């Protein structure tokens, strides 16, 4: 067992940290306040190879492993969790899905642009009445002979307004239940695609979240991903991988809040000494550091198993469950360590607490992660 990071991993860490400090930190409070999408920064992430990190270089990706992806997301999330989710959706929910299940034409027509950052992707599964229970989706893509006809509404779509390519999960044969579900590539510019208003969110405010309406959208047959009827399985597998990204996002939020708290605790004085010399504060720092280290190991382990082509559904769910709880606990303690200063925007930790909450909700709530973990544990009995 080797816990050391390779030269390549260390280089990714340094590049992501440098980018986050110099390009994401400036203007972050304003972007959060006004829900401003970080367009310039997303373009730069494409140029740095962060938008298609695990994609094969033949499709314009960086050809890196999942551990590199976790490392980059942690560093970016330490500063800007909204930029991290934009990156994470493009990498793990769209690029990975297209590379794993898409035809050669789909890879050439869509994946190449998504992996290089030339275009941005969104993953459209959730609906107004179907979130945790994805089998209940009502959006229909009915077979019309030479095309599928798409009708329905998708909800809470990250990158919804900025993406030009959507990976859409829709029902083609309701009588077959989840075995009637298909996955498609849909372009935003096609007739009948309509973007709903931007959601006004608690956290990750500079990422754009929209509902998307489809009215009689014609999808060419060639834009079906994978075998007919395999859309539900594809979506669930994509989410298994995606959870590693969200776990890394949560880890980064926690680690960012911890780093700020550690520094602050050595600078702020109370009762004649830095607060870091009060044992109550030391215990907080110790608990934060321990939970972060445990979360990081679980993220790396899930990523390692994915890279080794071993099963990773249980490990990615565990990593997300633990890291998202760590993000909530650590950011709340970070505010406590900062006292009154933690409660205002200039010190960043209040934003981190708001950003942390979503990691317990999207790509499967914490309750759903427990269901996944329990199912995997019982499978092995
Ligand atoms: C900011 C944001 C971005 C998002 N981005 C995307 C995106 O890009 N693409 C996309 O497709 N979706 C996206 N989502 C949707 C997200 O994945 C869902 O909100 C999430 O899966 C939960 O679904 P729901 O909101 O319908 O809650 P529900 O499924 O209605 O759940 C409500 C509550 O009931 C609990 N619950 C439900 N079923 C069970 C059960 N069997 N056992 C125990 N408890 C249960 C849940 O855990 C939750 O606490 C996003 C959501 C948000 C808020």
Distance CA 310, CA 308 (A): 5
* pLDDT value of position 118: 97
> Hey, which of 32, 87, 156, 159 would you mutate to test ligand 1's pocket, going by the most ligand atoms within 8 Å of its Cβ?
156
Distance CA 78, CA 20 (A): 8
Phi, psi of 257 (to 5 degrees): -65, -35
* pLDDT value of position 255: 98
With a Cβ cut-off of 6 Å, ligand 1 is lined by 89, 122-126, 131-132, 156-158, 201, 209, 358, 361-365, 367-368
* pLDDT value of position 303: 98
* pLDDT value of position 380: 82
How far is the centre of ligand 1, averaged over its atoms, from the C-alpha of 106 (Å)? 29
SS3 content of the chain, % helix, strand, coil (to 5): 60, 15, 25
> pLDDT-derived band of residue 142, with 50, 70 and 90 as boundaries?
very high
> Hey, which of 209, 235, 365 would you mutate to test ligand 1's pocket, going by the most ligand atoms within 8 Å of its Cβ?
365
C-beta separation of 78 from 20 below 8 A: yes
In 3-state terms, what secondary structure has residue 347?
helix
Residues 208-222: tens digit of each pLDDT: 999 999 999 999 999
Residues 190-243: tens digit of each pLDDT: 999 999 999 999 999 999 999 999 999 999 999 999 999 999 999 999 999 999
Q: Give strand pairing partners of 170.
A: 182
Q: Give strand pairing partners of 166.
A: 122, 186
Catalytic residue among 104, 267, 363, 376: 363
Distance CA 148, CA 168 (A): 12
Strands (DSSP E) found in 324-369:
none
How far is the centre of ligand 1, averaged over its atoms, from the C-alpha of 234 (Å)? 18
Residue with tokens 């405010």: 205
Annotated active-site residue 363? The verdict is yes
Hey, what's the torsion of the CAs at 261, 252, 156, 207, to 10 degrees? 80
**Closest by alpha carbon to 140, among 130, 132, 369?**
130
């Amino acid at each position: 067992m080797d816990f050391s990071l390779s030269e390549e991993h260390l280089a990714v860490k340094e590049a992501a940290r440098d980018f986050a400090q110099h390009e994401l930190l400036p203007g972050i409070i304003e972007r959060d306040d006004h829900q401003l999408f970080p367009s310039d920064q997303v373009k730069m992430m494409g140029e740095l190879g962060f938008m298609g990190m695990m994609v094969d270089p033949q499709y314009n990706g960086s050809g890196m492993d999942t551990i590199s992806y976790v490392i980059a997301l942690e560093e970016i999330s330490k500063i800007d969790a909204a930029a991290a989710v934009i990156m994470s959706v493009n990498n793990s929910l769209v690029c990975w899905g297209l590379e794993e299940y898409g035809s050669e034409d789909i890879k050439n027509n869509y994946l190449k642009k998504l992996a290089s950052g030339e275009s941005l992707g969104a993953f459209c599964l959730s609906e107004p009445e179907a979130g945790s229970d994805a089998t209940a989706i009502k959006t229909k893509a009915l077979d019309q002979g030479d095309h599928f006809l798409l009708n329905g509404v998708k909800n809470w779509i990250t990158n919804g307004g900025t993406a030009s390519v959507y990976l859409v999960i829709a029902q083609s044969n309701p009588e077959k239940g989840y075995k009637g579900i298909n996955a498609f590539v849909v372009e935003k510019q096609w007739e009948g695609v309509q973007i709903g208003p931007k959601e006004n969110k608690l956290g990750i405010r500079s990422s754009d979240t929209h509902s998307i309406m489809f009215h009689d959208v014609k999808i060419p047959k060639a834009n079906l991903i994978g075998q007919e009827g395999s859309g539900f399985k594809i979506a669930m597998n994509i989410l298994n991988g995606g959870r590693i990204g969200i776990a890394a996002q949560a880890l980064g939020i926690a680690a960012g809040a911890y780093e700020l708290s550690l520094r602050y605790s050595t600078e702020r004085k109370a009762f004649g000494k830095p607060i870091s010399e009060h044992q109550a504060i030391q215990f907080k720092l110790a608990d934060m550091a321990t939970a972060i280290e445990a979360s990081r190991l679980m993220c790396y382990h899930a990523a390692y198993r994915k890279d080794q082509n071993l099963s990773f559904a249980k490990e990615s769910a565990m990593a997300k469950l633990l890291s998202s709880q760590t993000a909530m606990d650590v950011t709340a303690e970070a505010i406590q360590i900062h006292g009154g200063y933690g409660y205002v925007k200039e010190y960043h930790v209040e934003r981190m607490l708001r950003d942390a909450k979503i990691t317990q909700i999207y790509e499967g709530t914490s309750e759903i992660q427990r269901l996944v973990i329990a199912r995997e544990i019982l499978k092995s009995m």
